[in-house]
């Protein structure tokens, strides 16, 4: 078949346009490229860091722009004490996991990694899609990240309660698409209290929770770790105040759920009998099992000072441990006897070395080194029991 010169030229242009990524409309004109799925936002009214898109508190979301605040009247520009993107921030004046005072970003459906940098705050949490994503980030300029599937073409995020009375601020946000799938990678979810939770900066904090150090003992090509533990938390609070809700939104077959409570449940102010504690824990075990996840119960370690006159560390009967052991057997789930295993380790190193693994003047909370040892013990026991990924 013979082609006219004009048709040949048109075909050459189409091939060139396709090669260069230029879209053609029905009239032959160039169409604007689709919005990117990778963003770096610098919040506040100060100078915008190179490589970032500046966003002020008054920047409202518009479909054309594809990002902005849903209710900018409820936002405020504030200063921050860091440098670069951490030198300024925006403050959320209304908040809550279900709040509509969100920062919205149009994204194609898929799995994303979201990195958040807070401004000045004592303690704040991050919520997106109506549930918690990160619990209790502490200190000015705290930084963390999480995976999230986007299924409706938009990410809706805000900074919310970690501690009543503090400012909930955001300095920077980075969004990176990982894949087109709309489910998280295999995940180890962790629920617990101040002996388990994250402390900031994550890579250099003096105090540590074993859940914070746990990723060092996990095969990260198989699992990501989502530590949803928080300081002062007890079983009822974890189940009823949003942390369990967040886990149940995403947990799936192939995921693990490690649950460790008891320390704060025995505190009189939390008004929880041992029988109530056991049934609340049972409820969470069954909720996660019904999602197809592998549930693991853990008993918390004892105090640094739980040595007898023979220098043997023993704390078996603390913190409703007997009920946790019984529940694991009744529900047919894996049990990590961190209480007994850590006691054996503490006995082997002696009272002075054990005390050095805890915060100064504190016999309950491990320091970073102590948290790493506890994380190592948990991972080793799970590997011994035949669970993969450690």
| Catalytic residue set | 194, 362, 365
SS3 293: coil
Structural contact between residues 70 and 33, judged by C-beta atoms closer than 8 angstroms: no
Structural contact between residues 204 and 150, judged by C-beta atoms closer than 8 angstroms: no
Task: Decide the pairing of beta strands 224-227 and 23-24.
Answer: unpaired
Distances (CA, A) of 384 to 47, 235, 332: 53, 27, 17
Distances (CA, A) of 140 to 86, 112, 219, 241, 264: 9, 25, 31, 25, 27
Q: How many residues does the chain have?
A: 390
Structural contact between residues 255 and 236, judged by C-beta atoms closer than 8 angstroms: no
Can you tell me the distance from the alpha carbon of 302 to that of 312, in angstroms, rounded to the nearest whole number?
Answer: 12
Can you tell me the distance from the alpha carbon of 322 to that of 276, in angstroms, rounded to the nearest whole number?
Answer: 13
Contacts with 22 (C-beta within 8 Å, 6 or more apart), sequence order: 30
């Amino acid at each position: 078949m013979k082609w006219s010169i004009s048709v040949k030229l048109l075909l050459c242009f189409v091939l060139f346009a396709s090669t260069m990524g230029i879209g053609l409309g029905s009239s032959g004109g160039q169409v604007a490229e689709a919005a990117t799925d990778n963003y770096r936002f610098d919040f506040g009214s100060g100078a915008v860091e190179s490589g970032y898109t500046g966003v002020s508190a008054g920047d409202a979301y518009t479909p054309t722009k594809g990002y902005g605040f849903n209710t900018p009247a409820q936002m405020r520009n504030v200063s921050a004490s860091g440098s670069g993107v951490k030198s300024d921030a925006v403050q959320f004046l209304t908040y809550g996991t279900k709040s509509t005072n969100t920062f919205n970003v149009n994204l194609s459906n898929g799995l994303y990694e979201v990195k958040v940098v807070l401004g000045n705050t004592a303690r704040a949490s991050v919520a997106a899609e109506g549930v918690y994503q990160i619990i209790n980030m502490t200190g000015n300029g705290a930084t963390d990240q999480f995976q999230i599937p986007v299924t409706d073409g938009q990410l809706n995020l805000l900074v919310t309660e970690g501690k009543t009375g503090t400012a909930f601020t955001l300095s920077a946000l980075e969004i990176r698409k990982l894949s087109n799938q709309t489910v998280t990678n295999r995940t180890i979810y962790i629920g617990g209290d101040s002996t388990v939770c994250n402390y900031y900066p994550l890579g250099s904090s003096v105090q540590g929770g074993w859940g914070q150090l746990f990723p060092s003992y996990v095969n990260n090509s198989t699992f990501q770790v989502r530590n949803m533990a928080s300081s002062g938390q007890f079983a009822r609070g974890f189940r009823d105040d949003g942390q369990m809700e967040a886990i149940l939104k995403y947990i799936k077959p192939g995921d693990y759920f490690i649950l460790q409570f008891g320390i704060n449940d025995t505190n009189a102010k939390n008004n929880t009998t041992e029988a109530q504690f056991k049934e609340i824990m049972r409820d969470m075990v069954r909720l996660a099992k019904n999602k197809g996840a592998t549930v693991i119960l853990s008993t918390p370690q004892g105090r640094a000072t739980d040595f007898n006159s023979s220098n043997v560390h023993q704390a078996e009967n603390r913190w409703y441990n007997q009920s946790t052991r019984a529940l694991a057997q009744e529900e047919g789930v894996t049990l990590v006897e961190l209480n007994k295993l850590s006691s054996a380790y503490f006995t082997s190193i002696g009272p002075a070395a054990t005390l050095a693994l805890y915060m100064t003047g504190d016999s309950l909370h491990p320091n970073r080194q102590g948290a790493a040892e506890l994380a190592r013990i948990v991972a080793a026991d799970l590997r011994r029991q035949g669970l993969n990924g450690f």
